[in-house]
Chains A and B, each alone.
Chain A
Amino acid sequence: DIQMTQSPSSLSASVGDRVTITCRASQTISNYLHWYHQKPGKAPKLLIYAASSLQSGVPSRFSGSGSGTDFTLTISNLQPEDFATYYCQQTYSTPLAFGGGTKVEI
Chain B
Amino acid sequence: QVQLQESGPGLVKPSQTLSLTCTVSGGSISSDDFYWSWIRQPAGKGLEWIGRIYIRGGTHYNPSLKSRVTISVDTAKNQFSLKLTSVTAADTAVYYCATAPRGIASPFDYWGQGTLVTVSS
Contact = CB atoms under 8 A, between A and B. Distances in A.
Interface of A: 1, 31-32, 34, 36, 42-46, 49-50, 55, 87, 89, 91-92, 94-101
B57 to A, nearest CB: 16
Contact of A32 (B63, B105, B114): B105
A95 B105 contact: no
The main secondary structure of chain B at its interface with chain A is: loop
Contacts of B114: 43
Interface of B: 37, 46-49, 52, 60-64, 96, 98, 100, 104-109, 111-114
A98 B49 contact: yes
A91 B60 contact: no
Contacts of B62: 94-95
B106 A91 contact: yes
Nearest to A89: B107
28 contacts: A1-B63, A32-B105, A34-B107, A36-B107, A43-B96, A43-B98, A43-B111, A43-B113, A43-B114, A44-B47, A44-B96, A49-B109, A50-B105, A55-B109, A87-B46, A87-B47, A89-B108, A91-B100, A91-B106, A91-B107, A94-B62, A95-B60, A95-B61, A95-B63, A96-B49, A98-B46, A98-B47, A100-B46
Contacts of B49: 95-98
